Structure 1
Amino acid sequence: MSLQFGYKALTVAVVSGLAATTAQAAGLDRSGQDITAFLQNGTYAEAVYTYIDADVKGKDTVGNAVPDMANSYDFFRYGVKTDINDTFSVGVLYDEPFGASVQYKGVNNFVSQGGDNTITSLTNGRMPDLATAQNSLLRLNAGFQGLANINQMLQDADPAFAGFLQAQKDEIEQRILTATGTNNLQEAQAAATRLGAAINASKTAEIQKDEGTSVDIRTNNITMLVGAKFGANKNFQIYGGPAAQRLNGEVKLRGTAYNAMTGYDARIATDTAVGWVAGAAFYKPEIALKAALTYRSEIEHNSTIAEAVPALATSTNRDFSVSLPSSWNLDFQTGVNPTTLLTAKVRYVPWSDFDIRPPSYGAATQRATGTALPIVSYAKDQWSAELGLGKKLSDRLAVSGSVGYDSGAGNPATSLGPIKGYYSVGLGAKYNITPEWSLSAGGKYLKFGDAEAQLPTKAIVGKFEDNDGYIVGVKLAYQSK
């Protein structure tokens, strides 16, 4: 015997995948790019508010405590759709799919402790303070200038005087080699250049004393969808449309964890670019079955980025491009009995193909390491899944529960987001204010996986363990069938 649920009863129970508490952890993922508002029957509109507070703390490599470095943040999502007729539907969705909000605090290697501390770290303890480093560089530069002068004099020197000049040259060379701990003048010149870069970084660190590493990246997305149902009972639907995405961001690196890149600043100018969305869905209303697979394309942003690299004493404003990744979302629901609904969500994002490569950052790291490095990259792709159960308690009230898993994007993880995925458990409730209007609220607890913080150079700079967070959200929805 088939189960006759009826849409009106079923939507009361659809809260286990409560959109008010959707959030992801891998890479820069935030909203999960949910499109289920478009899959609703009739005319539908929703406004969703989500607040996320994560506690991500740990220790740097020398054992200093790193207090909670993950800022709390919130975002909105809106959706509206309507059926033109029994075949065609249109909808517009807004969300904030990708982002990051990081602020390091305390006394540790991710916070600037001043110029003396920085020069000591960058020279591996050879320079006890900034003044000593500056004096050493002055003497080295004077030595190199002296060698240049002697070489010029040797070209025209009387043979009787040449021996004296050569002895002076040998003495100066030996002093330079001893001071730099190198074996030849070419290596000594490179060492002097590195010392100059360290001094520039240390001077900036003194100005930035007590400032912590921070990241603020935000995106805004508007998706326009058109869908067409087909089949004898209109059980199948295909849909698609353009997605316009706006991006801006700011990164500040502070503290000795970032070596010669300490003090680095970058600001990405706001850019809007367009991608596309396509998907297919299957419906069987008599058992409340609904399944949809949605693909979102990669979106490439071409903008400018203002960078300041203290180690090189440079500030630039150059062309910059970054591609935010594609994704696959699977949404599924089915009735278990006339008052119970089972839901499932699966999401895949290929974060291993993503990186952020500011040009001046790359040039500086190439000078230091021989390779132009990205400021952020990820080792693995993200898989996330959530399983939920909604229960109708009355014509007005339904409750739900869910469990979830997010794989993260690899461990070691970037120091700008040292989390290795999470496990989650959530509770939600939905109340029908009128037959058309409903209010949903819910919360999730997240248990984050332990992660080592890693620089693009592959150096481990911290360990973050025993961290968790929570999400709360509220959704106001209208539906007229």
Structure 2
Amino acid sequence: MKKMTTGIAALLMGTAPALAGGIERAPQSLAALFEPGNYAELSFGGADPTVSGTDAAGFDTGDVAQGYGFVGLAYKQEVSPNVSFGVIVEQPFGADVRYPDGPPAGSGSPVLGGTAARVDSTTVTALARYRMDNNISFHGGIRASRADAEVTLSGAGYGDISGYNVRMDPSWGTGYVIGAAYEIPDIAARISLTYNSKITHDFDTRENILPGAVTTTEVNTPRSITLEGQTGVAADTLVFGSIRWVKWSEFQVRPAEFSSLPGLSAGLVSLEDTTTYTLGVGRRFTDNWSGLAAFVYEPTGDDLVSPLAPTNGRKGVTLAAIYTMDNIKITTGINYSKLGDARPQTGGAPRAQMEDSDLWGIGVRVGYSF
């Protein structure tokens, strides 16, 4: 049981990425920190979302969400029975949205034609964990994130600002993570609570409104709280679940020249806070093979959304198989998510209706204990 269940909820979700609220692509898992002994892992995979609909002028938007890949690394060193350290490298945030180009903005052109957004990020987290003799443990550390972005607003839906482009050069920011856990090893039970602080980036910013000028844009990637639990319920069987809250409302992007224009002080994007629920079951079939299944639910919010994040809630199913051989554990996961219908808006007016969107994701995680 212990071979299968270490950090099971985070393990499952980490191997099969999915679009969560805002621009989150991965749940910032700390699963490696709970592995027994010394441990190293490599994870990789990709996702293919399909987000399409019809704009207010009757044009087919095509698939505006591009596929993406990911890679992650983790290392955990146990320096004593009670103290361990770890390093995790991941890509938790990202976006690649492109509305197909159309003729110049006007009544006969796509309402959002040419609008695009690209966000890339990499986060490195250094962690420590102290385990007390009463099965309570505390974990925490420093998180450093590198990010960059480019956004283009185009089409009739943007009126006079159609054609606006902004580039934000790579920037590093730092934050922290802190949490606690309680375990009952005999029944593979654990409950943990983890808080991730916001991370502030100060981007050197270039807007085509003032060619050649460089300003600074402050952007906060959002804080989050994750509650995870798991417990054995029968021989070789356990249940697990998680609740994750992310404060996306503090993710504001306000380039200086853009935000100084009349009616645009709110900036480029406005997102709602999200809460994501996971519930699943795991089963060991043989000494080498185990299987997991989980249902993921993120409630819908206001269906008027940013064109740069054109979905609203999700329902997903993740399946994973784990093969264990000696000190090696290979986990392969696949996720299918139904993404909620949404209406991208500008100026408070809906500009398109996105319907029947979904996502397929697959990932592989190879772990080695030593």
TM-based fold match above 0.5:
yes
CA-to-aligned-CA distance 1:242-301 (integer Å, 9 cap, x gap): 111111011112222211111111110111011111010111110000111110111111
Q: Which has the higher strand share?
A: 2
Residue type at the aligned position of 1:389: V
2:163 corresponds in structure 1 to: 263
CA 1:460/1:316 → structure 2, altered by over 3 Å: closer, same or farther?
farther
CA 1:13–1:250: 2 relative to 1, 3 Å: closer
Residue aligning to 2:304: 412
- 1:372: Cα distance to partner? 2.1
CA distance in 2, matches of 1:319, 1:333: 44
- State the one-letter code of the partner of 2:32: A
Deviation at 1:12, TM superposition (A): 11
Q: Which string of whole-angstrom CA distances, capped at 9 and with x for unpartnered residues, describes residues 305-349 of structure 1?
A: 10013xxx7563211111111111122111111211211122100
Number of residues of Structure 1 aligned to a counterpart in Structure 2 = 368
Q: Identify the residue that residue 270 of structure 2 maps to in structure 1.
A: 377
Matched, 1:231 2:128: no
Alignment counterpart, residue 441 of structure 1, candidates 321, 329, 332: 332
In 1, the alpha carbon distance for the partners of 2:359 and 2:212 equals 38
Q: Is residue 51 from structure 1 mapped to residue 41 from structure 2 by the alignment?
A: no
Structure 1: unaligned runs, 5 residues or longer = 106-110, 126-204
One-letter amino acid of the counterpart of residue 313, structure 2: G
Q: Determine which of 259, 265, 290 is the counterpart of 1:398.
A: 290
Tell me, yes or no, if the aligned pair for 1:241 and 1:278 is still in contact at 8 Å. Answer: yes
Cα deviation, 1:12-46, whole Å, max 9, x if unaligned, reads 98897352114342111111111111122211221
Do the aligned partners of 2:45 and 2:71 also contact (CA within 8 Å) in 1? Answer: yes
Paired residues of 1:401 and 1:426 also in contact (CA < 8 A) = yes
Give the helix-richer structure, 1 or 2: 1
Q: What corresponds to 1:155 in structure 2?
A: none
Q: State the alpha-carbon separation in 2 of the partners of residues 443 and 290 from structure 1.
A: 25
Which residue is equivalent to 1:190? none
1:12–1:333: structure 2 CA closer, same or farther, 3 Å change rule? closer
**C-alpha spacing 1:223/1:408, structure 2 compared with 1 (3 Å):** farther
Out of 328, 337, 340, the position equivalent to 2:234 is 337
Distance change in 2, residues 1:317/1:18 (3 Å): closer
Q: Quote how far apart the aligned CAs of 1:212 are.
A: 2.2
1:285 aligned onto 2:178: no
Within 2, Cα distance between the matches of 1:102 and 1:13? 32
| 2:118 partner amino acid | D
Deviation of 1:104 after TM superposition, in Å, equals 1.3
Q: Is the 8 A contact 1:15 1:390 kept in 2?
A: no
Q: Please point out which of 452, 461, 464 is paired with 2:354.
A: 464
Amino acid at match of 1:304: D
Q: 2:303 and 2:194 mapped to 1: Cα distance?
A: 28
* Structure 1 partner of 2:314: 422
8 Å CA contact retained: 2:18, 2:337: no
Contact 1:399 1:427 in 2 (8 A): yes
- C-alpha change, 1:95 and 1:15, in structure 2 (3 Å) is closer
Give the AA of the match of 2:266. L
Q: CA deviation at 1:10?
A: 4.6
Distance 1:60 1:315 in 2: 34
| Paired residue secondary structure (1:376) | coil
Once the two structures are superposed, what CA deviation does each residue of 1:102-151 show, in whole Å capped at 9, x if it has no partner? 1112xxxxx3413xxx3x54xxx9xxxxxxxxxxxxxxxxxxxxxxxxxx
SS in 2 for 1:356: coil
Distance change >3 Å, CA 476–CA 324, structure 1 → 2: same
The gaps in structure 2 that reach 5 residues or longer are none
Cα distance in 1, alignment partners of residues 198 and 301 from structure 2: 17
Given the two structures, how large is their TM-score scaled by the length of structure 1?
Answer: 0.73
Does structure 1 retain, via aligned residues, the 8 Å contact 2:17–2:362?
Answer: no
CA distance in 2, matches of 1:361, 1:444: 38
SS at match of 2:260: helix
Which residue in the other structure is 1:42 paired with?
37
Change (3 A) 1:338 1:431: same
Q: What's the CA shift for 1:96? A: 0.8
Q: 2-side partners of 1:340 and 1:15: how far apart?
A: 17
In the alignment, the residues of structure 1 paired with residue 229 and residue 176 of structure 2 have an alpha-carbon distance, to the nearest angstrom, of: 22
Superposed CA RMSD? 2.2
Determine helix, strand or coil for the equivalent of 1:66.
Answer: coil
- CA separation in 2, counterparts of 1:324 and 1:460? 26
Q: Which amino acid in structure 1 is aligned with residue 299 of structure 2?
A: S
1:354 is displaced (CA, Å) by 2.2
Pairing of 1:312-351 with structure 2 (within 5 A) = 316-351=213-248
Q: How does 1:11-410 map to 2 (within 5 A)?
A: 17-105=12-100, 111-114=101-104, 118=105, 120-121=106-107, 212-232=114-134, 235-309=135-209, 316-364=213-261, 366=262, 369=263, 372-378=265-271, 380-407=272-299, 410=302
TM-score by structure 2 length? Answer: 0.94
- What secondary structure, in the 3-state scheme, does the structure 2 residue paired with 1:259 have? helix
- Conserved 8 A contact 2:82-2:130: yes
